[in-house]
Amino acid sequence: MKRFYILLFLVPVVAFSLLYFSIWWFLIGLALVMTFVIYRFIAERFATAETNKEMLENELEDLHLRLEKSVIKEQKTNKEVEEARQIKQALLSVLSHEIRTPMNGVLGMSLLLADTTLTKEQQEYNNTIRSCGESLLTTINELLANDILFFSKLQQEGNQLEYTDFDLRDAVEETIGLFADKTSRLDIELICEVDKDVPKQIIGDPNRLRKLLINLLDNAVKFTVKGEIHVSVILKPDAETGYPPVLVFEVRDTGIGISGERLKKIFTGIPGKDFRAEGSDVQGLGLVVCRKLVSVMGGTIEAKSQEGRGSIFTFSLPLTPSLKLTRNQERQLHLNVLEGKTVLIVDDNSTHRTMLMKQFMQWKMNPLQASSGEQALHILKDEKQKFDLVLTDLTLIGMDGSELAGAIKNGHDDTPVLLMRPTGKECKENNIDLFAGVLMKPIRQYALEENLVNVFRTKSQPISIKPLSEHFGATFPLKILVAEDNLINQKIISKILSKLGYEATVANNGKEALEIVSNEPFDIILMDVQMPEMDGLEATRMIRTCLEVQPVIIALTANVMQGDRDACMQAGMDDYLSKPVELKELMAQLEKWAVDIKAKRA
């Protein structure tokens, strides 16, 4: 429209110029008109640019304000998440401390009681107390370290594992033992087999490993009506894959199995939907947890099954062997007593017999097997074959273990008989004297070894299998200070150290410990963390700052979360023991640091 007006203006100007003025006036007029047009054009462009600039500045300012609000909101959210995490961590630490401290008293007193003179009945009661205490402690660990802490951390990026030295066989056998009572009531054979090549001590996360096994065993027990559940651990050789060796765990059952279509979806997890049978409930979700756990631990998991013929769940985990010193000298002395001994294994379960055969051959013994009491008696009648021991199951088909032992004694055979009995299956009171010892199923290696040593020990081969021995302190001499505010724990740890041959000094808190070590030197301080006046962390920092000659400081605490361990190490502590204190762990720590201290002084 503007161009139209301009043309309308130019036409009369040009006409007038041609009629009344010369060509010069025409050119001057044309120049003025062109100047006017260019000025108007540039002015309009500047006005448009200025308007666009203001709009862009307003939009940019608005975006900046929105970005600032987003940053502030994100910072607030992160702060709230971190505060919630710290509160949760603190709550779990308090719960752990408050529960594990009295548990330390129960298990510690049970350990000391076992070192006194007890009748067989009292020993059985005490063993039950300790077994139940250990089971409760394992459950506490699972609840605190896995069900609460794990699921809260699982959704966070950078989820960290706990890396600690632990006895793999003990961890596996303890976990399987949690299901002993249930499988016994269902008449299901529960078998544990750890291959001889598997390292005894490894570095890893024992709580997550237990959680994995618990989920898979719970799944196996739920869907096994008869037969057996077999848990095995083997070391996959590196020559097979070209990679570092891995631990392979297998949980095999003789249950109802899983159909092909369901097997494909078994680790996808649909809450409220199970993959074994229609109408079953939430077990499928437990297998999803297993998959996530294995993934976090850097491993793989798979399942094989045939409907009606059982299932096999296999998971592999990276292996990190521990360099921690283990006390094998005394154990090797025990095993020397077993070499060359002939044992008859009587069990109607072929898998269990095979497992025991492998174990006895590993100890350089001569095992034979029988699948029934009648077959065992037939073998024993062979005068060409002499047996040093009969190991029999209580629940045999036909003639049971008690009847077999009675028949052996009636035949004037002085061969000792060891009994294996499932949890909850009691031997008649008048038959208990027929046996040289009783083993609870599933069989734990250390219990089998201890019973065998007891049977074969002679006057010419005196071997003490008592865990508490004053010779230990003479072998590994140390001057020890115990910093502990709880009177019961003071009594327990002092008594245990006394029975190991040490005369420990006790401090009631961190401040008192600092005063004592300032006046006399100590080799090792067993330092509790939560104490009045001055806690263990602050006392450790003061000792590291003030003393010229530094002792070894070992945390002795009921706080077992990973953050608690890190706090102890950052404060300057050298090692870590959790409550309730395991005797073998305490002895391993004392032996380790005694050797280290002696080497530094040499």
pLDDT digits (tens, 9 = 90+) for 333-380: 567 788 899 999 999 999 999 999 999 999 999 999 999 999 999 998
Helix/strand/coil (H/E/C) assignment for every residue in 327-372: CCHHHHHHHHHHCCCEEEEECCCHHHHHHHHHHHHHCCCEEEEECC
Q: Is pLDDT of 491 > 90?
A: no
> Can you give the pLDDT at residue 272?
41
Mean pLDDT, rounded, of the chain: 78
**Edge to edge, what strands does the sheet with 389-393 contain?**
366-370, 342-346, 389-393, 417-422, 437-441
Q: What one-letter code names the amino acid at 396?
A: L
Spell out the domain ranges in the chain. Answer: 2-71, 161-318, 329-456, 471-601
Predicted confidence band of residue 283 (pLDDT cuts 50, 70, 90): very low
> Can you give the pLDDT at residue 240?
56
Name the phi and psi angles at 261, rounded to 5.
-65, -40
Rounded distance, CA 556 to CA 576, Å? 6
Q: Is pLDDT of 77 > 70?
A: yes
- pLDDT tens digits, 307-317: 888 899 999 99
> Can you give the pLDDT at residue 19?
57
> Can you give the pLDDT at residue 157?
39
- pLDDT tens digits, 192-215: 999 988 888 888 888 888 888 988
Burial label, 95 (beta-carbon count in 10 A; 0-12, 13-18, 19+): middle
Q: Minimal CA–CA distance to 219: which of 261, 255, 174, 271?
A: 255
Q: Is pLDDT of 230 > 90?
A: yes
CATH class of domain segment(s) 329-456: alpha beta
> Can you give the pLDDT at residue 522?
94
Give the length of the chain. Answer: 602
What's the pTM? 0.56
Rounded distance, CA 372 to CA 398, Å? 7
> Can you give the pLDDT at residue 137?
67
Are 301 and 569 within 8 A, CB to CB?
A: no
Q: What's the mean pLDDT in 492-509?
A: 89
Asked if the bond preceding 12 is cis, omega within 30° of 0, the reply is no
Rounded distance, CA 187 to CA 177, Å? 15
Q: Is pLDDT of 544 > 70?
A: yes
Q: Residue written as tokens 């074994």?
A: 276
Q: Is pLDDT of 406 > 50?
A: yes
Q: Is pLDDT of 398 > 50?
A: yes
Q: Minimal CA–CA distance to 342: which of 378, 317, 366, 310?
A: 366
Beta bridge partner(s), residue 107: none
> Can you give the pLDDT at residue 465?
42
Does 3.40.50.2300 match the CATH number of domain 471-601? yes
Q: Minimal CA–CA distance to 420: which of 191, 106, 89, 87?
A: 191
Rounded distance, CA 123 to CA 128, Å? 8
Rounded distance, CA 301 to CA 208, Å? 14
Report how far apart, in Å, the C-alpha atoms of 408 and of each of 145, 285, 403 are: 50, 51, 9
Question: Does this chain's domain 329-456 share its CATH topology with 471-601?
Answer: yes
Higher pLDDT, 165 or 432: 165
How large a percentage of the chain has pLDDT more than 90?
20
> Can you give the pLDDT at residue 279?
40
Q: Minimal CA–CA distance to 573: which of 552, 592, 595?
A: 552
The Cβ of residue 304 has, within 10 Å, a number of other Cβ atoms equal to 14
> Can you give the pLDDT at residue 231?
95
Higher pLDDT, 423 or 279: 423
The CATH superfamily of 161-318 is Histidine kinase-like ATPase, C-terminal domain (3.30.565.10)
Asked if the bond preceding 237 is cis, omega within 30° of 0, the reply is no
Q: Minimal CA–CA distance to 176: which of 142, 148, 216, 136?
A: 216
